[in-house]
Amino acid sequence: MFRIGTYRWQINQNAGVKLEEISSSIYEVLTAYVPREDVFRGEPMCRHTTFRVGGEAQCFMRISNREQLFRVIPYLQKVEIPFFILGNGSNLLVGDKGYQGVILQIGDKMNQISVQEDLIIAQAGALLSQVSKAAMEHGLTGLEFASGIPGTMGGSVVMNAGAYGGEMEQVVEQVTVLDKNGEVLELSRGDMEFGYRTSVIKNRPFIVLEVQLRLKAGAREEIALKMKELSGKRKEKQPLEYASAGSTFKRPEGYFAGKLIMDAGLRGYSIGGAKVSEKHCGFVINTGKATAADVAEVIQEVQDRVYDKFGVSLEPEVIFLGDF
């Protein structure tokens, strides 16, 4: 698998291997490309997702720069080991039996942010909260909506993240990506083919390296006030006190997922430690001791009941990864 944010690309459907089959020789090659202290075997993925559930990844690598990707990805393709590109893990459900492959995390080791007049340039691992704060500090408006979204820049442009009337497509100027042949491409806003929670990257073998955002000059105090206002709305309406992946389902055309779920009588519905939030029915939460299977079963039950009652198919925003 080759994924970033909500994007998935299947390199080889039958390339799954068991933990012991990632040999010491393969491990040695990987540690020649990435420092040994950034390569982990049997890493619990509950440490790296906002759901706080998930089994072990066979191998977990923290990526510091694009050069490491240029070396690691062709090698993994050559030896036919599946891999997955991870950001902040905010839209991801990893199975309890783990992931048979390599997780490449583009996170806080690849999160530089720079500001040039009304242009913000952010590496793929930069958190949206960090980029929004940088925009505010430089008196740039247009990104306030993203200040509370718990994702990275890479994932946010892949899924065209949005909230409170704003979406990434409104501010993206250019996205730098790596393609399956190891070529670096520059995609303009038009090239990105943004749609509701989608972009061209969801259907192409690209990895986001860097994003350029074009904002507008504004009053710093007003920007900060708007961010505070939106933060208050999130705290009031969303179950932020629990582990979750944010909104669990995409908004079906003509409906609101949360209302459909509530009207289907599923407010508070639970299996094990997973539960439909009573505060906002669009969220499936981990009440503390959920398994990935619990979460997946709640999601499935919600989909089944809403379809049976209203004939509406709810599509998860959450990516399912690994073995359940």
Residue 286: alpha-carbon gap to chain centroid: 18
Q: Residue 242, by phi and psi: left (phi above 0), alpha (psi -120 to 50) or beta?
A: beta
198: its two tokens? 């989608």
List 147, 189, 197, 277, catalytic entry: 197
Residue 244 annotated as catalytic: no
The answer to whether 284 and 295 are in contact (CB under 8 A) is: yes
Residue 317 annotated as catalytic: yes
Phi/psi of residue 129, nearest 5 degrees: -60, -40
Sequence-distant contacts of 73-79: CB under 8 A, at least 24 apart = 73/2, 73/104, 73/178, 73/182, 73/207, 74/182, 75/29, 75/30, 75/33, 76/102, 77/11, 77/180, 79/26
List 56, 167, 210, 317, catalytic entry: 317
List 147, 156, 247, 277, catalytic entry: 247
Residue 199 annotated as catalytic: no
Active site residues: 197, 247, 317
